[in-house]
Amino acid sequence: MTYREEKDTMGTVKVPEDAYYGAQTARAVENFPISGRQMPRSFLHALALIKKCAAPVNRELDGLDEKIAEAIETAAGEVLEGKFDDQFPVDVFQTGSGTSTNMNMNEVIAGRANEILTGKRGGRSPVHPNDHVNRGQSSNDTVPSALHIAAMHGIFTGLVPALQALHATLSGKASAFSDIKKIGRTHLQDAVPMTLGDEFSGYARQIALSIRRVSGLEERLSELALGGTAIGTGLNAHPCFAEKTISRIAVHAKLPFREAENHFEAQAARDAAVEAGGALKTVAVSLTKIANDIRWLASGPRCGIGEIRIPAVQPGSSIMPGKVNPVIPESVIQAAAQVMGNDAAIAMAGAGGNFEINVTIPLIARNLLESIDLLTASANVLAEKCVAGIEADREACEGYIEKSLSLAANLIPEIGYDRAAEIAKKAHETGRTIRETARAENVLSEEELNRRLTY
């Protein structure tokens, strides 16, 4: 690899010849070789959107040269389209304000804008990464803003539609299974009869509430810190910069972004992200409950519960032929576990601010945006590759009811709890059904017995 030399305020550093970024990014790559994990693409694209929308506003309000503004807007648009995704090598585990990534973005956009204007890639002239690309901004306000933009986009264009599709699929199964009687279970023991449709309606309601939970995040995540610059003071930003730039961002993203009500809160705390992490964790818990129930209900197929059949998407064993495992529910459970772990990291990171800035924003961004992506994919795959293809085994469902000792509860209004318990105990000891035992004990007439044990 060949290198070029570039200068910044700390001196000269070598930069890869084919890179659009410059000295500050090269220093960050050298200083933070911790994990090999780069910032999420959705975060980088959100940050590029800020730069794209800021350039014409700076031209209008602050006299930024028209050609420079246009070149910045074009270059930022190309970054937003993903054309320069390979130009962001800075590790997630970097300076806690995200300054390294902000400067990476400023340098890439400046480097591409210089290429547009002069034919030479990189550099700090005629377009300067700080003076022009970062004009009216600071890492203190752009990085939190990019986090909110990326999270909002992921939730409302990805996660919510995926949950809505899952809800529709579960609701469809609830209707389709509404006449299939089965035994309910509590504590993994037989309970009283219900319908398979009842069970699936509960799952559908969980997802409906999940949609409501994540949708409720809009009010807090739609606030952007942009315009606060250094610690929330608005230093070096035109008084109208935030309003005009955020308006452009909202139009481009088709989301209701607005300027933060208090810039000091918006930059010092990451409470909205912590709230979002908690809501996503709750969704993960719901998906785990549903996926686990599906595994149990489909267990067997001959020596387990086996009340439903799930689609066979791949052979389930490397040694046992004919075995088909519930791979989709299991993949969802694992993704949900990762989301729960991410939430713990987000919560700890959210508490990691001191005075006027949180110093763990890259970690929050990485975990929050990963959780959104994982839940989006999980909801989609669970709906499409599992729930949509579930079939009920009516015979198995109804057969378990007749065998269940819990039917003794139906006799309580006529013979009392204690006598019903005796019937259940005898049925268990003899291996007979409740119906057979009650008939043998002559506790009710045949007509009343059939009325009580109709399910």
Residues with catalytic roles: 187, 317
- SS3 category, 309: strand
Q: Pairing mode, if any, of strands 258-259 and 223-224?
A: parallel
Tokens 């949900």 -> residue:
336
Other Cβ atoms closer than 10 A to 320: 9
- Tokens for 208? 């409906």
Q: For residue 58, which amino acid is it?
A: N
Contacts of 416 (CB under 8 A, 6+ apart): none
Phi and psi for 166 in degrees, rounded to 5? -65, -40
Q: Alpha-carbon torsion 175, 178, 182, 185, what sign?
A: positive
**By three-state DSSP, how is residue 388 classified?**
helix
Q: Which of 297, 24, 323, 280 is nearest to 160 (CA)?
A: 280
**Contacts of residue 295, Cβ cutoff 8 Å, sequence gap at least 6:** 326, 329, 330
Alpha-helical (H) ranges within 311-416 are: 327-350, 361-385, 394-403, 412-415
Tell me the CA end-to-end span of the chain in Å, nearest whole number: 76
Residue 353 bridge partners (DSSP): 358
Which residues, other chains included, contact 165 with Cβ-Cβ below 8 Å and sequence gap of 6+?
379, 380, 383, 384
Give all strands (DSSP E) within 153-247, no chain letters: 181-186, 189-195, 223-224
Cα separation, 157 vs 163, whole angstroms: 11
Distance CA 6, CA 21 (A): 10
Q: Count CA atoms within 13 Å of residue 36 on its CB side.
A: 0
Distances in Å between the Cα of 243 and the Cα atoms of 20, 162, 222, 224, 240 are: 30, 32, 13, 10, 6
